[in-house]
């Protein structure tokens, strides 16, 4: 039997305040890059919990998702491994909560607020082309209510059987 192909599932927080967007500057295998607070979905975690956790870890802020901006797929050739990786990204709009007294996640150099023009001007330093696409969709008003996402209790609890 052949191996089943699976994309890497990620989440991202699209956070706007006074016309500026919260990004993280991070060390990657391709050098220093900008990204939204984002990361991989962990086992036993809902998408909503994942985006809150990633924002806490990478930006040291609480985050409450209020809407799904979009679902995105992209393919990337890893310079580190030489292998192709397909990402399935769920991007959420939401409210930034209080700042937490904790260090930023390993590899995160700093948080930065950027205007749209600054985002466009720095696109060659984005972690992925999805960074700008998510902001464009956010600015276009794309929103789906969170109730379009269903997480069965077996994901975060015990499996029946």
Parse the chain into domains and list their residue ranges. Answer: 8-143
Q: For the chain, how far is it from start to end, CA to CA, in angstroms?
A: 26
CATH T-level fold of 8-143: Nucleoside Triphosphate Pyrophosphohydrolase (3.90.79)
Q: What is the mean pLDDT of the chain?
A: 94
Task: Tell me which residue of 139, 138, 58, 152 sits closest to 100, measured CA to CA.
Answer: 58
User: What count of other Cβ atoms lies within 10 Å of the Cβ of residue 130?
Assistant: 23
Q: Global pTM?
A: 0.93
pLDDT in tens, 85-99: 899 999 999 999 999
* pLDDT of 53 higher than 90: yes
| 5-36 pLDDT tens trace | 899 999 999 999 999 999 999 999 889 999 99
């Amino acid at each position: 039997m052949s191996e089943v192909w699976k994309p890497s599932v990620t989440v991202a927080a699209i956070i706007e305040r006074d016309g500026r967007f919260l990004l993280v500057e991070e060390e990657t295998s391709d050098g220093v890059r900008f990204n939204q607070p984002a990361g991989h979905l962990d086992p036993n975690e809902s998408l909503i919990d994942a985006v809150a956790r990633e924002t806490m870890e990478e930006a040291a802020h609480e985050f409450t998702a209020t809407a799904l901006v979009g679902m995105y797929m992209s393919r990337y050739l890893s310079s580190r491994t030489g292998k192709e990786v397909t990402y399935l990204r769920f991007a959420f709009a939401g409210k930034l909560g209080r700042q937490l007294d904790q260090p930023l996640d390993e590899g995160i150099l700093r948080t930065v607020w950027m205007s749209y023009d600054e985002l466009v001007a720095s696109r060659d330093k984005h972690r992925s082309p999805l960074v700008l696409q998510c902001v464009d969709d956010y600015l276009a008003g794309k929103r789906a209510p969170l109730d379009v996402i269903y997480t069965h209790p077996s994901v975060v609890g015990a499996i029946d059987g």
